[in-house]
Amino acid sequence: MTDKKLYLILQSVLCILLVVLLAGSAVSIFREGSAQKAENPMEWIFTPEKIAEKFKPIAPLFFGAVGLTVAGWILSVKDAHAEAPVRDVELARDLTVSRVAVPDEEMKKERLRQKRTLYGGWALFFLCMVPIGIYLAGSEHFPEGNLEEMIGSLSVHTIPWIILGLGCLMLSTVLQEKSMLRETAAAQLRIRSKKEAGVQPEPKAYPCGKNPKPKRRLQVIAVIAAVVFIILGICNGSAKAVHTKAANICTECVGLG
């Protein structure tokens, strides 16, 4: 392992650790301040004294990470592959496979595995969204008055499922790419064997099975998610609450109406 790579790993670990500690300190200040605010509603939660108290134990790590970053910038230490183009595994697969006239059983098996992995990943993702939809549809989960408690309960019941769903999509993508690499290797072996036999590769006859463009797919998913959440908001009474707050702002704060 080179010194440059070791430096980049150390810098990344310090930055991640610093972000976690700062986020934990902010949450700790908020929880302690909320408990004190129940006794004194006029007391500020985030005060300079509280921030300084929580930041003091983290200060050495913070200044160490900043110093390490500045040193790397001065010494021009950076990842040599940072500006390299990202390899498109799917495009490389399609270009290689297009030179094979008739796919063999191994290539067909990998293509079928890719489709199953794709559909399975999205199926697991939407399955993880079901508990979130059930929770959002219940109006009893959104009581009036205690906003902090409502947000905390919402986070506990939704964030783990969101993380799990995104994890399923990430795992599905990794498995698809590995399958594409195996399919590409099988196609290259087929092309190499034909060249050694003196047979020229025929033009594209392999059904690439083009999927919809990722951008179009994301747009459709975003529209469906928006419609679902609008319906859930109407069911749990959020639409009425938003309308009431908007009317109060217009009539009391802005002075309209």
Query: 229 and 150 in one domain?
Result: no
Count other Cβ atoms within 10 Å, centred on residue 251: 11
Query: 233 and 182 in one domain?
Result: no
Query: 224 and 176 in one domain?
Result: no
Which pLDDT score is estimated for 195?
A: 81
**Does residue 84 sit within a domain?**
no
Please identify, among 49, 74, 99, the residue that sits at the C-terminal boundary of a domain: 74
**Does residue 54 sit within a domain?**
yes
Query: 109 and 223 in one domain?
Result: no
**Does residue 221 sit within a domain?**
yes
3-state secondary structure 222-236: HHHHHHHHHHHHHHC
Please identify, among 45, 74, 103, the residue that sits at the C-terminal boundary of a domain: 74
C-alpha neighbours within 13 Å on the C-beta side of residue 229: 8
Query: 62 and 107 in one domain?
Result: no
Query: 135 and 46 in one domain?
Result: no
The token duo for 106 is 């191994």
**Does residue 233 sit within a domain?**
yes
Residues 11/68, Cβ–Cβ less than 8 Å: yes
- Residue 88 CA to chain centroid, in angstroms? 20
Which pLDDT score is estimated for 117?
A: 95
User: Domains in the chain: how many in total?
Assistant: 3
Query: 202 and 167 in one domain?
Result: yes
**Does residue 82 sit within a domain?**
no
Residue 253, domain extent = 212-257
**Does residue 79 sit within a domain?**
no
Query: 230 and 142 in one domain?
Result: no
Nearest partner of 111 among 36, 180, 194, 63, judged by Cα: 180
Distance CA 78, CA 82 (A): 8
Query: 196 and 119 in one domain?
Result: yes
Distance CA 150, CA 162 (A): 18
Q: What is the SS3 assignment for 75?
A: coil
Query: 175 and 117 in one domain?
Result: yes
Which pLDDT score is estimated for 209?
A: 45
Query: 20 and 52 in one domain?
Result: yes
**Does residue 81 sit within a domain?**
no
pTM above 0.85, yes or no: no
Q: Please report which residue ranges of 75-146 form alpha helices under DSSP H.
A: 89-97, 105-137
Distance CA 92, CA 98 (A): 10
- Tokens 């108290």 correspond to 53
Q: What share of the chain is helix, strand, coil (3-state, %, to 5)?
A: 75, 0, 25
**Does residue 83 sit within a domain?**
no
Query: 99 and 203 in one domain?
Result: yes
Nearest partner of 37 among 147, 186, 153, 139, judged by Cα: 147
Distance CA 13, CA 69 (A): 12
pLDDT string in tens for the chain (257-residue length) = 577 788 888 888 988 999 999 998 888 888 787 777 777 777 777 788 888 888 899 999 889 888 888 888 887 777 666 666 767 888 888 888 888 888 889 999 999 999 999 999 999 999 999 998 888 887 777 776 666 677 778 888 889 999 999 999 999 999 999 999 999 999 999 888 878 777 665 555 444 444 445 567 777 777 787 777 777 777 767 767 777 766 666 666 655 54
- Tokens 């006029």 correspond to 42
